[in-house]
Amino acid sequence: MRFTKMHGLGNDYVYVNCFTEQVLDPQDVARRVSSRHFSIGSDGLILIMPTDHADVRMRMFNADGSESEMCGNGVRCVAKYSYDHQLTEGRVPSQPVCERLLRSALPEAEAIREMTVETGNGVLTLGMAISNGKVQQVCVDMGEPILTPGEIPVRVEGDTAISTPIAIEGYDLQMTCVSMGNPHAVFYCLDVEALDLERLGAAIEMNEIFPQRVNVHFVQVLSKNEVIMRTWERGSGITLACGTGASAVCVAGVLTNNNDRQVLIHLPGGDLQLLWNQDDNHVYMVGPATEVYHGQY
């Protein structure tokens, strides 16, 4: 199996071009290739596949073999791979918000192109800033956040889960739950480095109020437009970045009055720019995608 190792801010996956390769048991392959000490090492496996509904289709599997609906860092890498390896030529942008954000992120860009990716959360539109013939920055229209508890899903009373109390590992916490096609629980604290993320993240992920488990994010507010976040990803554990999680943090910050609609988020692997656009209620995410190496497994 030929593969490409890529990462978005250190959130790394093994990518397989299924236009030319075949993966018969992706759950098993994901577990095998993700082992940090005995294999390639990654947060999971992402398949880039043909589809009739978009330029390409993405299937994403966590390190434990479970399949997830979407991965924000992963889908940026799918866009870079697809353009850089001629799976798509891209199109003239139809998203003025993405084009504006990309030109701000990479003023020297030679061109801005657009493509679509089919995911478990539907078909997403991505803008790509091109420099030296390669994709350098990607803007993802992450769509509208889901705030209804039954659709996230989370078992709580009420129409939303905003600053909802929860007791975990002896701590009385407040969580704000958002789905960006996959479930997220956001918590605010004074110092994200001081908390025991491994213990708290694992306990929250598996709590019975989350029927499909949950991605866990702790956030430290620096200002109305700047925060720091750390992540425990469902099925993968502590990761250096989470794109859907950063999108959820952007939304949660507005709902809890912790930040404005446009926010710079510092993750262990680097920075993401997020905008919860008031005009269309969509969340837009801008960040890099990096190709590390190719190999054969």
| Catalytic (active-site) positions | 71, 242
Q: What phi and psi values does residue 256 have, to the nearest 5 degrees?
A: -100, 5
- Tokens of residue 207, six digits: 């709590």
Dihedral (Cα; 205, 7, 73, 263), 10-degree rounding: 100
Contact 184, 283 (CB under 8 A): no
SS3 sequence, 85-119? CCCCCCECCCCHHHHHHHHHHCCCCCEEEEEEEEE
